[in-house]
A and B are shown apart, each in its own frame.
Chain A
Amino acid sequence: MTLFGLDLDYVACVVLFCVGLYMLVAKSNLIKKVLGLNVMETSVFAFIVTSGMIDGGQEPIVVAGSAPPYTSPIPHAMVLTGIVVAVSVTAVALALIAQIHAHYGTIEVDELKELP
């Protein structure tokens, strides 16, 4: 499905990415920044998986009863890697935020800037 010559599925990914980017830049709460980062990551995963889809295609599992065309297996494998990295980044970021909260009592960036 296209709109002004643009693929609507890809446009949805761009919109989701921009929502995440806005959260990352505009919010001062560190947890919300991490959430924004996760939304951006999700949009990238959706984009990569979408690019590997094929019209009327099946999942790339070759068993009795399955027939070509299969969707490309590479984007799926890449996204699996990406999800694991995203989980790792989120975990470390949250642990650091917990440290910041324990030391300074706040996770608002504008309050942290005013600390002596």
Chain B
Amino acid sequence: MKTFALVLVLVVAATMVIGIAGLPPHGDPDGPIHTHVGARYLERGVAETGVRNLVTAVLLVYRGFDTFLEVVVIFTALVAVLALPSATRRPPPARGESTAAPRRGSDDAVPVSPVVFFVVRLLAPFIAVFALASLYRGHVTPGGGFQSAAIIGAMMIALGLVFGREHAARLVPHGAKAWLQALGPLAFAIIAFVGWRLTGAFLGFPADEAAHALREAMVVVLEVAIAVGGAVILAQLFMALDAPS
């Protein structure tokens, strides 16, 4: 198996080295990646979308379908994970020696170090503020909905590891959980139909100058939905994978 893997890796590496030898040098302003549609986005992106962070402009306005289906993909992943029977909650199978091994998974299997406990508790509000800043300032600095979702999700996972999952689960209101998990796809669907009513194109954004505020509001709704929905999905994925016994 190891020999086969080495041969395979060498063959793949040789193929890829031949491939990159034919690529245009990167960093060249006249390279094909900078002269086609990318140049148009850079030239007219701000005027057409009103979003100063052009990555967000490409993500939400120019290539909204891509992002729509992206939030559907991660939502589907959550559905798939939740649809599986909880592996760690089920009693061990009654076949042979596998029952003998003690199963981990309970919250107090390993006591949390007081240092870790203190540091996580101390840092959590700052992490939350950083996530909010990344969302709020995302149009003029690097950041945005997905980055904010990753930061909030990581904070919730860290809190879940330290305080136990029951406490961390309370961060998400129980009644709203199902809606928050689906917030990304829902918001995209609503904005898509709003855009359809306004422009005649599914997920279209009004282009004229008069609708600037409306267009901005649509982008903000999408960003917030991505941030909150993404964070809840990330935390839920982690909790579902590591459910207590």
Q: Which residues of A contact B (CB under 8 A)?
A: 2, 5-7, 9-11, 14-15, 17-18, 21-22, 25-26, 28, 50-55, 57, 59-63, 68-70, 72-77, 80-81, 83-85, 87-89, 91-92, 94-96, 98-99, 101-106
Contact = CB atoms under 8 A, between A and B. Distances in A.
Contact of A62 (B46, B80, B92, B241): B46
Given A21-B8, A88-B74, A70 B54 contact: yes
B222 to A, nearest CB: 13
Interface in B104-155: 140-142, 146
A39 B143 CA distance: 24
Given A54-B28, A61-B142, A95-B81, 12 more contacts: A2-B25, A11-B17, A26-B5, A57-B29, A68-B42, A70-B54, A72-B33, A76-B55, A77-B55, A84-B71, A87-B77, A91-B81
Contacts, number: 172
Contact of B41 (A2, A17, A74): A74
Nearest to B1: A26
B74 to A, nearest CB: 5
Interface residues of B, number: 65
10 contacts: A18-B9, A18-B12, A21-B5, A69-B29, A70-B42, A74-B58, A80-B55, A91-B81, A94-B241, A98-B88
A63 B52 contact: yes
Nearest to A4: B21
A2 B42 CA distance: 28
Given A26-B2, A59-B142, A70-B54, A105 B84 contact: no
Contact of B26 (A26, A51, A96): A51
Nearest to A15: B13
Contact of A10 (B4, B5, B23): B23
A55 B29 contact: yes
B6 interface: yes
Interface stretch (B62-70, B171-179, B197-205): B62-70
Contacts of A92: 77, 80-81
Contacts of A22: 5-6, 9
The 10 closest A-B pairs by CB, nearest first: A105-B98, A88-B77, A26-B5, A102-B87, A98-B87, A60-B54, A25-B5, A55-B27, A72-B38, A73-B54
B87 A25 contact: no
